[in-house]
Amino acid sequence: MAVAQDQLDATFTALADPTRRAIVARLARGDATVNELAAPFDLTLPGISKHLKVLERCGLISRTRRAQFRPCHLEAGALDSAAAWIEDHRRIWAERFDKLDAHLLEIQRAPDSEPGPAPAARPAPANERRDR
């Protein structure tokens, strides 16, 4: 369980950065070299390589060797645990909001004459108080 949680933490940490999300989005269209991935960014190649290492460490991408090129490949399966976690929590919150909606509708339909807590008595203003 701890390993799965660590993997999930690493995935969300990697995806927290907009540059890495853009790289993942680009790789979703197909494999690309470091130079191709770096092109749209105002970053150095070592800077892009650092982002790629983060993505590679958490298993979101892999690199292969083709002649002198090392294209990056999206490991879409690595997103499955994050997607499952998001879906589980989306479902839980949808159920909670549905219950809240039903409860609020029930309250709105209730007649005004229902007994409820009595309003707190407010003390009389000082000029209306009688000393005994």
Q: Residue 65 maps to which CATH number?
A: 1.10.10.10
Residue listed under structure tokens 């549905």 = 98
Domain count, the chain: 1
Tell me 72's DSSP state.
E
36 domain-assigned: yes
Please state, rounded to an integer, the average pLDDT across all residues of the chain.
Answer: 85
Supply the pLDDT for residue 64.
Answer: 85
35 domain-assigned: yes
> Cβ(24)–Cβ(15) under 8 Å?
yes
Supply the pLDDT for residue 115.
Answer: 54
Per-residue confidence at 15, pLDDT binned at 50, 70, 90? very high
The Cα–Cα gap between 66 and 68 comes to 6
> Tokens representing 32?
């690309």
The Cα–Cα gap between 14 and 36 comes to 20
47-88: pLDDT as tens digits? 999 999 999 999 999 998 877 778 999 998 888 888 998 999
> Tokens representing 120?
């707190």
Asked whether residue 6 carries a pLDDT value surpassing 80, the answer given is yes
Residue listed under structure tokens 């209730």 = 110
If we measure between CA atoms, which residue out of 78, 74, 83 comes closest to residue 58? 78
> Cβ(81)–Cβ(11) under 8 Å?
yes
27 domain-assigned: yes
pTM of the model: 0.67
Supply the pLDDT for residue 122.
Answer: 59
30 domain-assigned: yes
Per-residue confidence at 132, pLDDT binned at 50, 70, 90? very low
Asked whether residue 131 carries a pLDDT value surpassing 90, the answer given is no
Supply the pLDDT for residue 3.
Answer: 61
What is the domain range of residue 40?
Answer: 2-79
